[in-house]
Structure 1
Amino acid sequence: MVEHHSVNVNGIRLHIAEEGEGPLVVLLHGFPECWYSWRHQFAPLAAAGYRVVAVDQRGYGRSDHPQEVEAYTILHLVGDVIGLIHALGEKHAVVIGHDWGAPVAWHTALLRPDVVTAVAGLSVPPQPRGSVPPLRAMRERFDGQFYWNYFETPGVADAELAADPRATFRRTLYGASGDNPHNDPPGQPLVQPGGGFLDRVKAPEKLPSWLTEEDIDVFTAEYAEAGFTGGLNWYRNLDRNWELTAAWADATIQIPALYITGDRDLVYHFPGMDQLLPALTTLHPQLREPVVLPGCGHWTQQERPDEVNAALLEFLDSL
């Protein structure tokens, strides 16, 4: 049974959901999500003998939401994971992340291999540090229309997504899923001048089989007070993160690692991914052969829980 707690870490309060006993496995969600994104992973991993902890990361859900944009850098986020592991009374953990949680997981493994015994990322692979800051790179490539750049301006995407949170979740969760026929393959996630992020997809008349109206209820309730600004502030630090991680350019992951994605995931089709993905195991020799799920979209562990759980358990049991 999943139990909920609050943990004080690095001067902020983090909400966690926990089940099971054994070696610690920390689950990190993405945007716009929360602990509930891992609802299908608790019972299988706990039954296999693991202590499973899914956290609302800073700025999300029931956790604290610092007001300063600068409080959401990758170093803050890695610090939260390490602080959480220690606050839970553990010295080591496996860290698994999806979407934005994946870069946090990869960087935590990169910066603290003495604490992280293994790492897995869903949707977003470990990416080399480019020669140009990422927000600038996308602004130049797509004339400022890439969704990261739309998210940059404080207050704009915040207001759009918060205007009707229930509609936001119905449209974003369906829109980026493998069930959306427009994602075969997905195009680049661009926001047209004068338009909004949600204009890219219409609300579905019927939700896909992996997503229920009750699930939408939970996500809507979890964001009722939190809003979307905390999560959007992560995007607003992309160029700052590029500056802060200069010391780790070309560093490789030195612990066992796993990458899982879907072939209808928008990230799978980001610029440069066609060259990066085949090179991953060369760039990071500890990385297992990537698991690519046919027909799966962006919400990997929600869309394909059985396949994801099987891959994660095989990985965990091999450590």
Structure 2
Amino acid sequence: MAAWMHRYARINHIDMHYVEQGEGPLAILCHGFPHIWFSWHRQIPALAAAGWRVIAPDMRGMGQTEAPADPRAYDVDHTVGDLIGLLDHLGERQAVFVGLDFGILTIYDLALRHPERVRAVIGLENPFPVHDPAISPLAEAARHAKDHFIHIDYFRPYGPADAALNAEPRRFLSKVFYALSGDYRYLNVWSHPPGTAYIDALPEPPPLPWAWLNELELEFFVSEYSRSGFTGGLNWYRAMDLRWEQRRAFEGVKSTPPFYFIGSENDVDLEAWHGDDPIAHIPDHHADVRAVRMLPKAGHMMQLERTPDVNATLVEFLGIIARA
């Protein structure tokens, strides 16, 4: 049963919202886009019951956390600073950090720059930061966008995408959640021609409830994004080149905290963004790989699609970390 508390604090010069449940060693769960803390609502009670103090923040720009309008406020210095500031606010020197999508990429930046603050890392779906020194991510997306739709380039200009998504949050979220799941192959979205609107490129989802998401759960996401708008989340994309430049200094450097990974066989990021055979390349990026677990059938929404398996694996990995 959920027994979490909603907390609000001024952290790293922004107003941050986070959810807390449990007592014990600290585990911080970091979401991506278009998610909020609620993406972890099935994990928080399970990890708290296993003896952990669980914190799930709304990441910068999303949910009830402040959303600076300037994309420069979403660079590595700011996003890593949020996690350092959260640790300091909680009165903790270290935490186990668990993340997905932009959340885990921020954790990787933290682990490279401040490994002393990271007890261990559990990555979901994204096994390591992607950094091509030859071309920036926004330049690469613009090159692909000459041939077909790609969401990164669609999000790049400030304004049009924001207005389109803000106008139809329920339609966008239902379509993108379905497209990202293991029930659909997300890369089919790229078959649309340049100039397609994202909402039009996404597939029509089946009626809710789905096997892994019900109407009330979707409504929680819709309610939050209807209030906040999507600009904060889109600014994470607009800052990709800034973070690319800041990551240059760590090109070829391995992360040193203990590393655990959970992936799923139908994840779009593993298929499209991490090169050939990304699982085999995990040791190229992490010096202390402790465990790698792949879940069948699920897609990028894995903690909702395969909740019992994700929870059991997280509890298992956290138990290993606690005993170390």
Fold in common (TM above 0.5): yes
- 3-state SS of the aligned residue for 1:223? helix
Residue identity opposite 1:135 in structure 2? L
For the pair 1:29 / 2:31, whether they are aligned, the reply is yes
1:281 and 1:288 in contact (8 A); partners too: no
Please give the alpha-carbon distance, in whole angstroms, between the structure 1 residues aligned to 2:111 and 2:63: 25
Corresponding residue of 1:104: 106
Residue identity opposite 2:199 in structure 1? L
Q: Deviations over 1:233-269 (max 9, x none)?
A: 0000111111112111111110111122211111121
2:145 and 2:194 in contact (8 A); partners too: no
2:180 to 176, 179, 185: 176
Report the TM-score when normalising by structure 2: 0.92
Pairing 1:252-271 to 2, within 5 Å after superposition: 252-271=254-273
For the pair 1:139 / 2:146, whether they are aligned, the reply is no
Q: Which consecutive residues of structure 1, in runs of 5 or more, have no partner in the other structure?
A: none
Q: Which consecutive residues of structure 2, in runs of 5 or more, have no partner in the other structure?
A: none
Judging changes above 3 Å, is the alpha-carbon distance between structure 1 residues 282 and 245 closer, same or farther for their aligned structure 2 residues?
closer
Residue identity opposite 1:6 in structure 2? Y
2:57 to 55, 71, 89: 55
- 3-state SS of the aligned residue for 1:87? helix
Judging changes above 3 Å, is the alpha-carbon distance between structure 1 residues 9 and 190 closer, same or farther for their aligned structure 2 residues?
farther
Q: Deviations over 1:278-306 (max 9, x none)?
A: 22124423123432211101111111111
- 3-state SS of the aligned residue for 1:313? helix
- 3-state SS of the aligned residue for 2:132? coil
Please give the alpha-carbon distance, in whole angstroms, between the structure 2 residues aligned to 1:190 and 1:147: 12
Pairing 1:168-317 to 2, within 5 Å after superposition: 168-180=172-184, 182=185, 186-187=187-188, 189=190, 192-199=193-200, 200-317=202-319
Report the TM-score when normalising by structure 1: 0.94
Please give the alpha-carbon distance, in whole angstroms, between the structure 2 residues aligned to 1:70 and 1:287: 33
Please give the alpha-carbon distance, in whole angstroms, between the structure 2 residues aligned to 1:156 and 1:65: 18
CA shift at 1:45, angstroms? 0.5
Please give the alpha-carbon distance, in whole angstroms, between the structure 1 residues aligned to 2:191 and 2:261: 26
Corresponding residue of 2:123: 121
For this pair of structures, how many residues does the alignment match?
316
Judging changes above 3 Å, is the alpha-carbon distance between structure 1 residues 314 and 78 closer, same or farther for their aligned structure 2 residues?
same
1:78 and 1:104 in contact (8 A); partners too: yes
Please give the alpha-carbon distance, in whole angstroms, between the structure 2 residues aligned to 1:83 and 1:107: 15
Q: Deviations over 1:147-196 (max 9, x none)?
A: 1111101112211211111111111111211123x45xx44646532311
Judging changes above 3 Å, is the alpha-carbon distance between structure 1 residues 188 and 165 closer, same or farther for their aligned structure 2 residues?
closer
2:253 and 2:285 in contact (8 A); partners too: no
Residue identity opposite 2:195 in structure 1? G
CA shift at 1:130, angstroms? 1.1
Identity in percent: 37
